[in-house]
Copies of this chain bind each other. A is one copy, B any other.
C-alpha cells in the first residue's frame, strides 16, 4: 500500500488550511464512518479494509513533492504547508474488526483526533472502507447462493483499476470466496490462487485434443480442461474424456472441466452424464460465465450439477450495486477543551446523525447463540437491565422496547491507541471470523431476497441526547 496522503479531496486541504487560520486552539473532534443503506437491498454489510486503514494511518505523511504540488496551487498559507511537512497522525481509532456484519447507522469506525487531522484522512479512509466492504458484502451473497460449493474470484480484467482487482480479491476472500485468480493478490495477502486455461490455449494447437493432451502432459495432477472453445458436447467433453482416460491409465487423477458459455444448466447436466458414464464421477464441473448470486441460485434451483463457480465482473465490481455509500460525519468537537456532541440535521428524519462518542453492542438472549438486536450507546454508558431502547429507524412500528435479560457483545475495539488490540491481517483468519459472526445472525436476516430487517436500537442516553440537540437547533 502506498502512502495516499494526497488521495484526498481538495476541500479537505482547504478546510484544514482554514481551520489552522481561524481556529488556532487546535480543537479535537470525533468522526464516525457509517452508511445508511445496504447494497442489493441486503440487510447488512461485511466490514473490510481495516488492516489497510490502520497500516496507512501509521505511515501517513506528505513528501517534499506533495508539498511543492500543494504550494503550486496558490491556495494555502506557508504555516499550513509547514504543518503538513510535520504531519503525523496523533489521534485514536476504534473500529469493528474486518468480517463483522454491520447494520445501517452503526459506526463501523470512529476517529478521535485534532480536527485538522480528522479532516485530512477522510477521503482515502472512506475510499478503502467503502470499496472493500462493498466487495466483501457482495462476496458473502454470492458464496451464500453457492450453498457450500467453492466460489473462485475471477474478475481482475474487469475490475475498476489495479487496486480494485487486488484489494477486491482480498475483500472477496473475507466475504467467503475460496480463492482468486489474481496472482498479485495471492502474493500480497497469502490468498489461495486458482485458474486453469483460456480459449487461447486451445486455439494455439492444431486441434482441441492435442491442446488437452499437451495440458495434461504439463499438469497431469491438476488438469482442469476448458471444454467450450468449439462445441461442448460434440468435441469438448469427448476430447476431455479421452485425455482423462489417458491420465487415469498413467496413474493420475483428472480434476474436471470448466464451461464458460452457452446454457450452463443444460450443458452441465449433459456433461455430468457423459463423465459419469465414462467412469469419472469425481471429475468436477466448474461454471464461469456472467455469474452472480441470482444466476447461481437459479442454476442450482434447476438442479444443475455444478461443483465450483468462477465469478468475474459481477463480484469484483459488485455489478448490481457498485457503491457502498459510507459517510464520515462529525459526532463531537472540543470547545475550550471540553467535548461538545455535534449533530448534522436534515429534512429527512432518518438522515439526522447520531451525536457523541459511541459504542455498538450485539445483543443475545441468555444461552442463545443467535443475536436478536443491536444497540448503539454512548461510549461511557453502562448497559443494565431493564433498558428501554428506541429503534434507530424513526419509521419503525415498534419504536420502543424494554430489555430485561440480555448479554451484550461490544462490536468496536480500539485499533489505534495505547490500548489498541492488534488488527488481524491473516485474511483466511478474517474469513473464518466472518463465518462465525454470520452464524450468530438470524437466518431471515441473511436471506438474499427480501431479508427480514434486523432491529438496531438507540440506548436511552443516546436517544435523549439526539432529541436535545435537535431541539436546540430548531430554536
- Asked whether A7 lies within 8 Å of B166 as measured between CB atoms, the reply is yes
- Asked whether B317 lies within 8 Å of A195 as measured between CB atoms, the reply is no
Please name all residues of chain B whose beta carbon is closer than 8 Å to the beta carbon of A6 when the two chains form the complex. 183-184, 187
Q: Is A338 an interface residue (CB 8 A)?
A: no
For residue A82, give the distance in angstroms from its CB to the closest CB of chain B.
Answer: 16
Q: How far is the CA of A204 from the CA of B230 in the complex (A)?
A: 65
Q: A4-B184, A322-B319 are in contact. Are A156 and B9 (CB under 8 A)?
A: yes
For residue A320, give the distance in angstroms from its CB to the closest CB of chain B.
Answer: 9
Scan A111-127; emit 1 where CB is below 8 A from any B CB, else 0: 00001001100111011
Please name all residues of chain B whose beta carbon is closer than 8 Å to the beta carbon of A15 when the two chains form the complex. 197-198, 200-201
For residue A239, give the distance in angstroms from its CB to the closest CB of chain B.
Answer: 14
Q: 17 pairs across A/B with beta carbons < 8 Å?
A: A7-B165, A10-B181, A10-B186, A10-B195, A23-B205, A75-B219, A119-B200, A126-B158, A127-B159, A131-B159, A131-B161, A160-B161, A160-B317, A161-B163, A161-B167, A200-B329, A322-B322
Q: How far is the CA of A328 from the CA of B199 in the complex (A)?
A: 11
Q: Interface with B: A65-73, A357-365, A397-405, which one?
A: A65-73
Q: Is A277 an interface residue (CB 8 A)?
A: no
- Asked whether B182 lies within 8 Å of A9 as measured between CB atoms, the reply is yes
Scan A288-328; emit 1 where CB is below 8 A from any B CB, else 0: 00000000000000000000000001100111001111101
For residue A151, give the distance in angstroms from its CB to the closest CB of chain B.
Answer: 16
- Asked whether B157 lies within 8 Å of A164 as measured between CB atoms, the reply is no
- Asked whether B127 lies within 8 Å of A157 as measured between CB atoms, the reply is yes
Please name all residues of chain B whose beta carbon is closer than 8 Å to the beta carbon of A27 when the two chains form the complex. 204
For residue A173, give the distance in angstroms from its CB to the closest CB of chain B.
Answer: 14
- Asked whether B160 lies within 8 Å of A164 as measured between CB atoms, the reply is yes
For residue A212, give the distance in angstroms from its CB to the closest CB of chain B.
Answer: 11
Give A contacts to B, CB under 8 Å. 2, 4, 6-15, 17-19, 21-23, 27, 29, 31, 65-66, 69-70, 73, 75, 115, 118-119, 122-124, 126-128, 130-132, 134-135, 154, 156-168, 181-184, 186-187, 193-201, 203-205, 214-215, 217-219, 222, 229-230, 261-262, 313-314, 317-319, 322-326, 328-330, 333, 342, 344-347, 473
Name A262's contact: one of B70, B160, B314, B347 (CB within 8 Å): B347
- Asked whether B204 lies within 8 Å of A19 as measured between CB atoms, the reply is yes
- Asked whether A217 lies within 8 Å of B160 as measured between CB atoms, the reply is no
Q: How far is the CA of A156 from the CA of B219 in the complex (A)?
A: 44
Q: A115-B204, A200-B15 are in contact. Are A218 and B156 (CB under 8 A)?
A: no
Q: A75-B222, A325-B313 are in contact. Are A344 and B18 (CB under 8 A)?
A: no
For residue A322, give the distance in angstroms from its CB to the closest CB of chain B.
Answer: 4
